[in-house]
A and B are shown apart, each in its own frame.
Chain A
């Protein structure tokens, strides 16, 4: 490892899944305190800051740097939706290599559930009866829900490749099994494929249990150089590759309803790392919906386009499988506070440190995180490795 190679040294989660005692800034504060305590660095050591949120009027990094008292030389508020934090790893890694800063805090927090309840997925786009502008003019009047947007992807995938509702359900079942091992997960009782198929239809072909939870929660992680990491508390986790891309923003503009930008981003991340999909031991994928995972699996190269259903049916993503998915219980069962991408990184680090408790994947050395923002719009992929 070279002295300036980027590594992750500290991780922290704020209270979740339901934390009415915390505001959004308090989630950031708690997560930061826990990430710093984890690695043994002090707040004054932080000279780089990556931050986005669902509030802040687009200036979340400025708002939170002020609240937390971060004196940064490098700041990044790249906002790609839920995948923002995968892009932040890419940017922070470059900044660390270039010497623009020494220690970067990446931070997210949200009191989404306590503030707004469960309406995120089925509240419709746009304002009620209000004037809509831009691309919304050709979408919002038709009442597509957020769940419905992903349903358009699932329906097309089923049409083109014969993917079945049972295949998607299998994803939710496997993630729920991991949630049962996480005492903080929102839903922990085991479910079956039949349970998923019997849950009410929200937007065909997506059932209630094909959809993620809505929760509160925040997270933070600390990145620094391999050199700086030497005398810290935790074994460093290496950022081996990070790449992102975009195919659209609005769902109506998705060029191919079965393919995301991970098809370009993941190969680039693998090339940076000198690795291939077969080298990956555990995956943390954005599971806003079961179809999100299926699309990312294919696009990241774990199986050919259209073969995701059969791949999933073989049980690879389960506990004990060869590619365990979302070992913290994912967004589908544990925690989704609006933008889940930060939790992918944090759980991957836990796995690569060997600190995942009963959910530990034995011998995990390489993890792939794939974040999805918008409507499978902006995809960020990050390969992490044990030192």
Chain B
């Protein structure tokens, strides 16, 4: 998808949130870890949801398994209406967080709970990217 014009809703991160998207553009998938209590969380925010301390960025290996998913077959909103059917899944990372994403690179009917997937990045503007997922090992 790199090079295509980005027509999807476009993230508008503030300075605190930008590192996630900048890292994704470098092929690195970030989440947060709390140095005080060890809690892992995603989406990134300014406080640990477990203990209230300041969380830090942490890298993941960029792999996960499908925790749950759906095949979207009706969506009236462009550009999604032109991409039907497509898979939206919750991906569970071994580091202990879940992320929403699209699973691409295989038939929608092949996606299943427990399926191994790996992340790849798609830039939505120069230097800022979002993770997408495809079958992995």
Assess whether A203 is interfacial by the CB under 8 Å rule.
yes
What's the nearest-Cβ distance from chain A to residue B91, in Å?
A: 10
A44 in contact (CB, < 8 A): no
Q: Is the CB of A122 within 8 A of B75?
A: yes
* A–B Cβ pairs within 8 angstroms, 23 of them: A122-B74, A122-B76, A123-B75, A123-B77, A129-B7, A138-B42, A141-B9, A141-B10, A143-B72, A143-B77, A143-B83, A143-B88, A147-B74, A148-B70, A151-B70, A152-B90, A153-B68, A159-B68, A200-B74, A203-B74, A206-B70, A252-B100, A257-B90
Contact with A along B11-48 (1 / 0, CB 8 A): 11110010000000000000000000000001100000
- With both chains docked as a complex, state the minimum distance between the C-beta of B29 and any C-beta of chain A, in angstroms: 12
CA–CA, A257 to B89, complex, Å? 12
A205 to B111, CA, bound (A): 13
Q: A151 CA to B113 CA in the complex, in Å?
A: 13
Residue among B78, B90, B102 with the most chain A CB within 10 A? B90
Q: Interface residues, chain A, CB within 8 Å of chain B?
A: 119, 122-133, 135-145, 147-148, 151-153, 155-156, 159, 200-206, 251-253, 257
Contact between A155 and B76, CB atoms less than 8 A apart: no
Contact among A126, A147, A155 with B68 in the assembled complex (CB-CB below 8 Å): A155
Whether A131 and B70, one on each chain, are in contact in the complex, defined by CB atoms closer than 8 angstroms, is no
Residues in B lying within 8 Å of A, measured CB to CB:
7-14, 17, 42-43, 67-80, 83, 86, 88, 90, 98-102, 113-114, 124, 130
Residues of chain B within 8 A (CB-CB) of A155 are 68-70, 113
Which of B9, B72, B73, B74 touches A126 (beta carbons < 8 Å)? B9
Is A137 a contact of B12 with CB atoms below 8 Å?
yes
State which of A132, A153, A200 has its C-beta within 8 Å of the C-beta of B11.
Answer: A132
CB distance from A283 to the nearest CB of B (A): 26
> Which B residue's beta carbon lies closest to that of A135?
B43
Closest chain B residue to A205, Cβ basis:
B70
Residues on A with beta carbons closer than 8 Å to the beta carbon of B13: 133, 137
